[in-house]
């Protein structure tokens, strides 16, 4: 999440009741989670396993629960509960503000765009020119839709990230991490019926120009989809994944989190992608392998009964 203007660290430290150490005169430009941090960002960490990763990331300012060494020019905001500090910052700079109108007064809709009955357009949503939004579509706060976009009935754009902070010493182990990111959809994208595209936790979920998405597709938080991709029905993509340009995912492909599928890759139906894939190749299986290799494997599997009979016959 970008702040509307840089915020002095001293004000943030006061807001979250933290001790400020290091570059105390600096200002933060936003808050982000570790997969998406940029220079000028705040990030929080509350587990020793991730201290070094956060401190040495692109983030300039670290909300942390232990005093530790850090690079010159950065700052620590020391507090007992960094997760609660993150929640406080999000609630302060992007508080939940319900809109009780079907099209919010703060939404902007471009020329020649059609919003059909039953569609809900939230606060600060931007919709470009020549778009068609079919009935019962929901586009939630701060999402951005480009020009010439088609969104079929019942689709939800900008639902909260499936992202939780877990601590076993709490009665409720999983605490929801507030989502303050957006969904950004570029020009000429088409999205089928009954799809769900989650907003980023604190950055953006991004759908590239010309991408076409079939019905009942789910795209998780902070995922970046390239240009001219094609996703068939019931594809599911987990959070913080990168899908490069011209990728095709056929029906019921499942993609795990924080991996990359390279440019021009094709993943055949009902495959499971658990690791990054090189571009320009076809894949199949669960877990996936290169399609040619997988087909050879299946041929040999089918021959097992025949081979078994030959072995047993010799005995």
Active site residues: 221
Written as six digits, the tokens of 24 are 């105390």
Nearest to 153 by CA among 117, 206, 110, 106: 117
The encoded tokens of residue 36 equal: 């998406």
What whole-number distance in Å separates Cα of residue 150 and Cα of residue 73?
46
Residues ≥6 apart with Cβ < 8 Å to 292: 282
115-148 burial code (b ≥16 CB/10 A, e <16): beeebbbbbbbbbbebbbbbebbbbbbbbbbbbb
Contact 205/221 with Cβ under 8 angstroms? Answer: yes
Of 177, 183, 163, the closest CA to residue 122 belongs to 183
Contacts with 211 (C-beta within 8 Å, 6 or more apart), sequence order: 186, 189, 190, 225, 226, 227, 228, 229, 230, 231
CA–CA distance, 257 with 264 (Å, rounded to integer): 19
First to last CA, the chain: 71
């Amino acid at each position: 999440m970008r702040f509307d203007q840089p915020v002095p660290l001293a004000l943030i430290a006061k807001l979250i009741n933290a001790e400020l150490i290091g570059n105390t005169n600096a200002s933060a430009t936003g808050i982000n989670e570790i997969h998406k941090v940029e220079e000028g960002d705040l990030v929080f960490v509350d587990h020793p396993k991730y201290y070094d990763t956060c401190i040495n990331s692109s983030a300039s300012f670290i909300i942390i629960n232990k005093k530790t060494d850090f690079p010159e020019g950065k700052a620590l905001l020391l507090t007992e509960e960094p997760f609660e500090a993150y929640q406080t910052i999000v609630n302060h700079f992007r508080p939940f503000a319900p809109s009780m109108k079907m099209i919010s007064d703060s939404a902007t809709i471009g020329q020649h765009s059609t919003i059909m009955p039953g569609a809900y357009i939230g606060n600060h949503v931007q919709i470009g020119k020549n778009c068609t939004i079919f009935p019962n579509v929901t586009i939630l706060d701060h999402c951005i839709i480009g020009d010439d976009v088609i969104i079929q009935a019942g689709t939800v754009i900008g639902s909260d990230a499936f992202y939780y902070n877990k601590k076993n010493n709490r009665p409720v182990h999983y605490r929801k991490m507030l989502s303050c990111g957006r969904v950004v959809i570029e020009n000429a994208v088409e999205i089928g019926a009954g799809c769900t595209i989650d907003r980023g936790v604190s950055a953006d979920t991004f759908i590239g120009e010309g991408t076409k998405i079939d019905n009942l597709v789910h795209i998780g938080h902070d995922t970046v989809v390239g240009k001219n991709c094609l996703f068939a029905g019931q594809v599911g993509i987990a959070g913080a994944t990168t899908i490069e340009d011209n990728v095709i995912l056929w029906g019921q492909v499942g993609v795990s989190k924080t991996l990359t599928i390279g440019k021009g890759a094709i993943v055949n139906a009902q495959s499971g992608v658990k690791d990054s894939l090189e571009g320009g190749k076809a894949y199949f299986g669960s877990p996936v392998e290169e399609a040619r290799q997988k087909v050879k494997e299946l041929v040999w599997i089918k021959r097992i009964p025949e081979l078994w009979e030959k072995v047993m016959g010799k005995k």
